[in-house]
Amino acid sequence: MSLAADARRTTAHAAFWMMTRRVTILAASVDIVFFVFFLWAGSPLLAWLNVLSVGLYGAANRLLVWRWNRSALLLIWLEVIGHAVIGSLCVGWDAGFNYYLLMFIPAIMVSGDWPRVAAPLAMLFAIYLGLHAVSNQLGPLVPIDDTALALLNVFNVSIFFAMASYTARFYYLLVRRTEGRLREHATRDTLTQLFNRRHLLEIAEGELARARRDDTSLSLVIVDIDHFKQINDELGHDVGDRVLVHVSGLFQACCRASDTVARWGGEEFLFLLPNTDIEAALDFARRVRVAVARHPLVPKAPTEVACTVSLGVASLAPGETLEAAIVRADRALYESKMAGRNRVTPAPAAAPEVPLGEDLAC
């Protein structure tokens, strides 16, 4: 099983047990109401049976706290089936105790893969139909008057609606939360929390389309930490990681709301600057360079770790692709490295755009 699948399974399972625990509290509260109701309806035997149910739910709740999940589940199954059977046989099918059996359908379906859920589902179906047939055949063994029966039916339907809504909502919110987490994982670099390369390219395609439509400028800045291997080798990989996080924070602080910075890979970062021409992008890159040079990382260790960055800057030429502009910015970065590092270099001009058909003319 992949790590992602394992993580989803863990989340779904943890959520299932958490929800089961809440359901034991809700069900015990409902049984207390039943206790009062059956005393009022003149059926003390049924009233005291509900006290037994409260005890079973209390025990199941404790077992869940101790993580004896299977034993807890067994108790809950016993209680719900017992309650539905005794209630339907004593008071009659119309009392609506059978609805509680239906709550097992979603619980079974989310408990595992198909081979695991098929048998319990078939068993539940058989119990439901069997109970229906037997209780209709026998009629109520401990009849209560019509008003009490109607009230009981409304109460049971209401509780069933509330529980079914609660569980469905619970799973909906769980899916939403998990979806959000997966999206975060897919778009962000786990170390620096900056966007990753793939997400930056997605944003860049959108920005490029907008720049072309609105006829505005779009610039790119590629940044690489100088002598980063030396930092790793001399101070350790952990300090190297902290430097990456530290400069990421500085990079974000340099950005406007419309700018985007991403970890491009290793110790390389890429800024995307909408509405920014080459001159403004060069100014921006100089500010980034100065910010890093002036703010060394102060780790817990006694020495501070100073580092510098080299930068390459390109502004997209009309008709130029993103990839071509990145190649130019990368070339400029290389120039910065060759010229001694800790500097900003503008990219060479883009190759002139060939008007459509002109290449065919010669």
Q: Give the nearer residue to ligand GTP in terms of CB position, either 132 or 227.
A: 227
Shortest distance (Å) from residue 311 CB to ligand GTP: 12
Residue 297 in the binding site for ligand GTP (CB under 6 A): no
Residues 326-345 contacting ligand GTP, CB under 6 A? 337, 341
Residue 187 in the binding site for ligand GTP (CB under 6 A): no
Known catalytic membership, residue 205: no
Q: What is the spatial distance between Cα 183 and Cα 202, in angstroms, rounded to a whole number?
A: 14
H/E segment holding residue 272: strand 268-274
Q: In what order do the strands lie in the sheet with 309-315?
A: 260-265, 268-274, 218-225, 309-315, 344-346
Q: Which amino acid is at 157?
A: V
Q: Which of 6, 145, 234, 241 binds ligand GTP (CB under 6 A)?
A: 241
Q: Which of 31, 226, 259, 330 binds ligand GTP (CB under 6 A)?
A: 226
Shortest distance (Å) from residue 229 CB to ligand GTP: 3
Q: Give the nearer residue to ligand GTP in terms of CB position, either 84 or 243.
A: 243
Q: What is the spatial distance between Cα 23 and Cα 76, in angstroms, rounded to a whole number?
A: 10
Q: Which of 207, 267, 279, 335 is catalytic?
A: 267
Nearest in space to 50 (alpha carbons), one of 22, 79, 75, 71: 79
Contact 101, 129 (CB under 8 A): no
Residue 183 in the binding site for ligand GTP (CB under 6 A): no
DSSP letter for each residue of 117-169:
HHHHHHHHHHHHHHHHHHHHHH--SS---HHHHHHHHHHHHHHHHHHHHHHHH
Nearest in space to 76 (alpha carbons), one of 117, 104, 115: 104
Size of the site for ligand GTP (CB under 6 A): 17
**Residue number of the CB atom closest to ligand GTP:** 240
Count of other CB atoms within 10 angstroms of residue 178 = 15
> Interface with ligand GTP by CB under 6 A: which range of 22-30, 161-169, 204-212, 240-248?
240-248
Q: Which of 227, 253, 279, 321 binds ligand GTP (CB under 6 A)?
A: 227
Residue 116 in the binding site for ligand GTP (CB under 6 A): no
Q: Which of 237, 304, 351, 354 binds ligand GTP (CB under 6 A)?
A: 237
Applying CB under 6 A, which residues contact ligand GTP? 191, 224-230, 232, 237, 240-241, 244, 266-267, 337, 341
- Catalytic site positions: 267
